[in-house]
Each structure stands twice: as C-alpha cells, then as structure tokens.
Copies of this chain bind each other. A is one copy, B any other.
Amino acid sequence: MRQTFIAQLEALNNDVIKMGSILELSTNEMILALDNTDTAISKKIIDRDDEIDLLEQQIEKDCINIIAKQQPLASDLRKITSIMKIITDIERIADHCVDISEYIIRLSKLPKVNPPKNLSDMISAMKKMVIGTIDSFVEGNLEKATKVIQADDEVDTYFEKITEELSETMQKDSNMVPQCICYLMIIKYLERMADHATNIAEWITFIVTGDLVIG
C-alpha cells in the first residue's frame, strides 16, 4: 500500500512537472510570436491548448483518486490539495498564452506599429516569474517561490507605464487606436500571467511551510 502510494505521488509530481514544461514551451513561443507578430507560431500555441486542458483534467482526477484510496495525512494531503490548485493556475497561464496569440493574429491584420517601449522588459519580468514558479515547484524551493511573489509589483508597474504610453500614442495618432487596443489587452494578459505565477508560488509556500496565505 505504502509503496503504491509513493509511486502514485511521484507520478503525480511528474505530471505537474510535465504540465509546467508544456507551459514553459508555450510561454517561450508566445514571446517569440509577439516579437515577430508571427501568426504560424500563434496558431501552434492555440492548437496546443487541448493538451494542457486534458492534462489538467487527468491530474485533477488522479488527485481525487489518491485522496480517496490512500487517505493521505498531513504534509502529503497538503501537497495533493495544493497541486489541485496549482494545475488550475498553470492552465490559466497557458490560456493567456492562447489569448495573447489571438491578439497577435489580430495585430498581424492591422498596419504595423512599433510595440510599446517597455513591453520587452515587462515580458522578461513575467517570464522570470513563470519559470521561477515552475523551478520552485520542481525543487520545492521556498526561496525561489518568495522571489516570484516579490517580483509581482514590478510587472504591475510595467503594466501602468505601458498603459500610459499607449494612451499617449492613441491621443497623438487616432490611426493607432486598433493596434493599441490589442497591446492593451496583451499587457493585461501578461499581468494576469504574473498574478497566476504568484498564486502558484503561494501554494508552493503552503506545501513547504504549511502557512496558508492566499488572496
């Protein structure tokens, strides 16, 4: 019984890591697609979404089955219930890669404009958080999880800065409005991706320390 349980927990852990790897791939490709307004990559990201959804459903069911059959206690139960939360956030981040890909396709149909000045810095900050959160799960690394939580303010600051810049651009040149709306939505999704990375980091903190701070 105990052996089976350890094997099941390990399989569960590996599935979350697998979900994290797919997310990392989609995040990296989304950044590449955004850099080059690349519709082919965007479509690939959109097509990949089912894979993440199915994996989430499977992990969800596995969690419930393990709880029902193995009746885990204390730290094991904490880990399994946290995984049930973490996979939702992973799936949402992947969803936002899809949402951004759809706006990249819209942008590709409009006259080309320069992307906002601080966009690449915002992307770097968000990417560091998403990768940091996956790493901290794999390693059970509290320090890395804490760094992710602390970095969220930086992404929020970029969001405000870029919104201001897009506002000025639209006021100066009304031809730019449709493209700027696309960028407004894109930075909103980038900001949400960072928020979900923060949520995951909070769940990792809960797994490691038992302290539940959410909200």
Contacts and interface: CB of A to CB of B under 8 A. Distances in A.
Nearest to A172: B174
Interface in A23-77: 49-50, 52-54, 56-57, 60-61, 63-64, 67-68, 71, 73-74, 77
Contacts of A22: none
B78 A81 contact: no
Interface residues of A, number: 41
Contact of A181 (B49, B163, B178): B163
B81 A63 contact: yes
Contacts of A17: none
Interface string A81-99: 1001100100100000000
Contact of A77 (B54, B67, B213): B67
Contacts of A128: none
A113 interface: no
Interface in A6-30: none
Interface of A: 49-50, 52-54, 56-57, 60-61, 63-64, 67-68, 71, 73-74, 77-78, 81, 84-85, 88, 91, 163, 166-167, 170-172, 174-175, 177-178, 181, 184-185, 188, 212-215
A91 B188 CA distance: 19
Contacts of A78: 64
B170 A56 contact: no
Nearest to A63: B81
Contact of A84 (B61, B84, B172, B181): B84
27 contacts: A49-B215, A50-B215, A52-B215, A53-B214, A56-B214, A57-B212, A57-B214, A64-B77, A64-B78, A67-B67, A67-B81, A68-B73, A71-B71, A81-B81, A84-B84, A84-B85, A88-B88, A91-B215, A167-B177, A170-B170, A170-B174, A170-B177, A171-B177, A174-B174, A184-B184, A185-B188, A188-B188
Contact of A178 (B57, B84, B167, B212): B167
